[in-house]
Amino acid sequence: MRIRATAVALAVALGLAAAPVAAKDIKLLNVSYDPTRELYKDYNAEFAKLWKAKTGDNVTVEQSHGGSGKQARAVIDGLAADVVTLALEGDVDEVAKGTKKIPANWVQALPNHSSPYTSTIVFLVRKGNPKHIKDWDDLIKPKLQVITPNPKTSGGARWNLLAAYAFAQKKYGSEEAAKDFVTKLYRNVPVLDTGARGSTTTFVQRGIGDVLLAWENEAFLAINELGPDKFEIVTPSLSILAEPSVAVVEGNAKLHGATAVAKAYLENLYTPASQKLIAEHYYRPAKPETVDPAILKRFGKLELVNIRDDFGGWSKAQPKFFGDGGIFDQIYKPGN
Amino acid sequence: MIPGFGISLGFTIVYLGLIVLIPLAGLVLRSAGLGWSELYRIATDLRTVNAIWLSVWTAFIAAIINVPFGVLVAWVMVRYRFPGRRLLDAAVDLPFALPTAVAGIALTALYAPNGWVGAYLEEWGIKAAYTPLGIVIALTFIGLPFVVRTVQPLMEDIDKEVEEAAATLGAGRFQTVRRVILPSILPAVITGFALAFARAIGEYGSVVFIAGNIPYVSEIAPLLIIIRLEEYNYAGATTVATLMLMISFALLISINWIQAMTRRRYGNG
């Protein structure tokens, strides 16, 4: 008995002594898009602490940010990302197709279609809302100027066009009317910046336009940074659920011996603590029921359509709206 | 033959091949894989034509503007001594050194309707930022050093004695400039023009901030290439790129030819 207890104690002591020796330094590369910078900075620190407590290993997550499509192409061209956290499902699909390092059914790998956080498209207007912009149909009024990035170069801006389209289709009842609506809307766009941050600058710093179509989280950040005395958020009656996608690039993670940690890194995004962090960064949490309602109060209530049920998924929406000769190109066809 | 010809020529060919020719050949090969009819369709697509034409004419105007002003700047730097000359001389290179995006953002801030210059232009009913005029402004900015830096050394080489000789032979001041100074710097001016022009056709970073990027109106060819890439349409992107390459190459060759003609005519260089 005594011998056995001693043996156990010895084994535990040995195990404890051995633990620091076995502690590994793991590097993880998360290739993401632009506006997640602040969120992942905080999340990486939290995750490193958690992982250290759980396994004793040190994990350093490196971040790469840029336009979502550009980031996807970088991974396709060989950037050794362990996880991708991009703005569009379509971009992750391209990585899966182009590298074969992500399984084709990656969307099912994590809850909520692999979208741990979502956002939506809202309006940022100048303080006092001088043009009385309440909903999408106010945006096609003559002489009104709308600022939104080029959906061809900005993955995030594709949601803007789809949100407007969904609104018009619901309100006027036909695809033709919806096409006509978005055509009128883009006629009111004086500048098509190449990225979302560029459009924010055009609206905020250059003073151009009456309304900026923005991701909700970006709109909140803009107000935080520039002061609520200059701008305000208008939540339209209907918008689209923007679902950024996350996936483990299994081929790369395996190569780096980081499969377990990469999976845990993404799974951990769904825990209550992470969901709270997400809400604090103005993204809508995928599991709002786990988050303090006081934090959720900041998000305006509105009807949300989503890409799967209302547009048949990205694989259909992408070529139809944003492909060569698609609906966006038709808007600018001369004589249209 | 001067010794070392073989090794230096070999090195030149390998170097040019690695740095210039192989990447460009890859580009051409990739678009050649498309087949002629598809190539023709993209090349004659109204949007492609518009974008390339916009890039070419704005680059041309910008290079033309830079010729007289670049020569003037070079002249001032070479001929006059004044306090702050070195500082000014260094400032000429700023468009080279500055990241083009920084230049684009700065110019946009300046020429936007609420910017220092833009507000003033607005009173005259001129819109600069977010129009093709804005593109010309950005391209003029990045092209300036090319003209100044190619003309400057030649100007420094002109001996005062040559001008004095012209004067003693009865030439007026204007005649001296026209018959003596201009011919000797003309080849450099043409080179400077060609460099500024070629650089401006492909410029992307500074232009996208100031252009407005509206298809058919202010969408430059390099932006169209990026747009095709965003569509994961590598073939479309390389086709536009190959077209631009061909245009630039044709322009550079014809400018070289003009330069050779002027050299022959004035018998220098």
pLDDT tens per residue, range B234-252:
888 888 998 888 888 888 8
> Where does the pLDDT of residue A18 fall: very low under 50, low under 70, confident under 90, or very high at 90 and above?
very low
Of A117-126, B138-147, B212-221, give the lowest mean pLDDT range.
B212-221
Are A327 and A320 in contact, with CB atoms under 8 Å apart?
Answer: yes
Kindly determine whether residue B226 and residue A193, on different chains, have CB atoms separated by under 8 Å. no
Do B247 and B234 have their domain in common? Answer: yes
> How many angstroms away from the CA of B4 is the closest CA of chain A?
41
Strand partners, A285: A117
| Cβ contacts of B119 on chain A, cutoff 8 Å | none
Which CATH number goes with the domain that contains B106?
A: 1.10.3720.10
> Over the stretch A134-153, which tens digit does the pLDDT of each residue have?
999 999 999 999 999 999 88
The answer to whether domain A2-115+243-270 has CATH 3.40.190.10 is yes
Do B194 and B241 have their domain in common? Answer: yes
Q: Give the domain range for residue B10.
A: 1-32
Nearest CB to B227: which of A73, A152, A207? A152
The reported pLDDT for the residue numbered B64 is 96
Q: What is the DSSP letter of A118?
A: E
> Where does the pLDDT of residue A1 fall: very low under 50, low under 70, confident under 90, or very high at 90 and above?
very low
Do B79 and B124 have their domain in common? Answer: yes
The reported pLDDT for the residue numbered B92 is 92
Chain A residues in contact with chain B using a Cβ-Cβ cutoff of 8 Å: 67, 69-70, 73, 94, 150, 152-153, 155, 189-194, 198, 201, 205-208, 322-324, 329, 332, 334
Of A11-20, A271-280, B1-10, the range with the highest mean pLDDT is: A271-280
């000797």: which residue's tokens? Answer: B184
Are A282 and A35 in contact, with CB atoms under 8 Å apart?
Answer: no
> Where does the pLDDT of residue A272 fall: very low under 50, low under 70, confident under 90, or very high at 90 and above?
very high
Per-residue pLDDT averaged across A250-255, rounded?
94
The reported pLDDT for the residue numbered B17 is 87
User: At residue B31, does pLDDT exceed 50?
Assistant: yes
A58-64 and A83-86 as β-strands: parallel, antiparallel, unpaired? unpaired
User: At residue A5, does pLDDT exceed 70?
Assistant: no
Kindly determine whether residue A73 and residue B212, on different chains, have CB atoms separated by under 8 Å. no
In chain A, what are the domain boundaries?
Answer: 2-115+243-270, 119-242+300-331
Do B166 and B241 have their domain in common? Answer: yes
A244: exposed, middle or buried (Cβ count in 10 Å: 0-12, 13-18, 19+): buried
Do B136 and B192 have their domain in common? Answer: yes
Do B26 and B147 have their domain in common? Answer: no
The reported pLDDT for the residue numbered A3 is 53
> How many angstroms away from the CA of B111 is the closest CA of chain A?
10
Q: Is B40 on the interface with A (CB under 8 A)?
A: no
> How many angstroms away from the CA of A332 is the closest CA of chain B?
6
Per-residue pLDDT averaged across B185-196, rounded?
91
Are A153 and A145 in contact, with CB atoms under 8 Å apart?
Answer: no
> How many angstroms away from the CA of B266 is the closest CA of chain A?
48
Nearest CB to B212: which of A153, A192, A329? A192
Average pLDDT taken over every residue of chain A: 89
Distances (CA, A) of B105 to A114, A301, B66, B110, B210: 36, 36, 21, 9, 7
> Where does the pLDDT of residue A83 fall: very low under 50, low under 70, confident under 90, or very high at 90 and above?
very high
The reported pLDDT for the residue numbered B269 is 43
- Percent of chain B with pLDDT strictly greater than 90: 39
Do B11 and B136 have their domain in common? Answer: no
User: At residue A223, does pLDDT exceed 70?
Assistant: yes
Are A196 and A153 in contact, with CB atoms under 8 Å apart?
Answer: no
The reported pLDDT for the residue numbered B263 is 76
Q: How many CA atoms lie within 13 A of A9 on its CB side?
A: 6
Do B70 and B99 have their domain in common? Answer: yes
Per-residue pLDDT averaged across A159-165, rounded?
95
Do B178 and B252 have their domain in common? Answer: yes
Do B215 and B110 have their domain in common? Answer: yes
Per-residue pLDDT averaged across B153-180, rounded?
86
User: At residue B214, does pLDDT exceed 70?
Assistant: yes
The answer to whether domain A119-242+300-331 has CATH 3.50.30.60 is no
* Position with higher pLDDT, A29 vs B35: A29
Number of structural domains found in chain B: 2
Closest CA to B204 of B229, B170, B179, B186: B229
How far apart (Å, rounded) are the C-alpha atoms in residues A53 and A260? 15
Q: List alpha helices for B2-99, DSSP H.
A: 5-16, 22-32, 36-44, 46-79, 85-92, 94-97
Closest CA to A231 of A201, A204, A213: A204
How far apart (Å, rounded) are the C-alpha atoms in residues B74 and B90? 12
Residue B114 has which token pair?
A: 């609420």
> Over the stretch B80-120, which tens digit does the pLDDT of each residue have?
899 999 999 999 999 888 898 899 999 999 999 888 999 99
The ipTM estimated for the assembled molecules is 0.72
Kindly determine whether residue B232 and residue A207, on different chains, have CB atoms separated by under 8 Å. no
Do B16 and B60 have their domain in common? Answer: no
How far apart (Å, rounded) are the C-alpha atoms in residues A41 and A60? 11
| Cβ contacts of A69 on chain B, cutoff 8 Å | 229-230, 232
Nearest CB to B230: which of A69, A205, A207? A69
> How many angstroms away from the CA of A206 is the closest CA of chain B?
6
A83-112 burial code (b ≥16 CB/10 A, e <16): bbbbbbbbbbbbbbeebebbeeebbebbee
How far apart (Å, rounded) are the C-alpha atoms in residues B4 and A97? 51
């407005």: which residue's tokens? Answer: B212
Do B26 and B122 have their domain in common? Answer: no
Q: In terms of CA atoms, which chain B residue is nearest residue A194?
A: B208
């951990």: which residue's tokens? Answer: A268
- Percent of chain A with pLDDT strictly greater than 70: 93
